[in-house]
Amino acid sequence: MLFISLYFFDFGVNMEREFIMIKPDGVQRGLIGDVITRIERVGLKIIGLKMLQLTKKMAEEHYAIHKGKPFYEGLIEYITSGPVVAMVVEGKNAVKLTRKIVGATNPLDAHPGTIRGDFALEIGRNIIHAGDSPENAKIEYSIYFEDEEFVQYKKIDEEWIYE
């Protein structure tokens, strides 16, 4: 694992990890494949992936920043209402790139071509969650993944993706 990390630093590539969750509405609507395809097509590498049912404790930990807000209880109820797909991706500027692919939180403000712009109509059913900074992504993916669960590998197309 250390060798792979040094490989990226030797070439000056600023690799980041990002947490992405396909929410219950995305899973129920059969959009898992569409979301993963969009993530992979831009060159991000999936290093952790699992489907799970969030417990109330996990949801409260994930959304602790929103505790006390009017929508908090509904959010917890919704996010625990069905299975989700949690993933960690890795790539150069992964957080910023993912946020662009995902689109604005409110689908009415999301541009066509983004996940939310193409697949969502309501802010409370907006298909996907993505961390808003490398630091928050780490906090979030630590709720769902142990470091040992990440698979480190070099994709054959990386030399064609990164300068």
**Among 62, 66, 111, 129, which one carries the catalytic annotation?**
129
As separate numbers, helices (DSSP H) first and strands (DSSP E) second, the chain gives: 9, 4
CA angle 140, 94, 69 (to 5 degrees): 35
Active site residue 66: no
Give the residues across from 19 on adjacent strands. Answer: 88
Question: By the 8 A CB rule, do 143 and 62 touch?
Answer: yes
Strand, helix or coil at 110? coil
Which residues form the catalytic set?
129
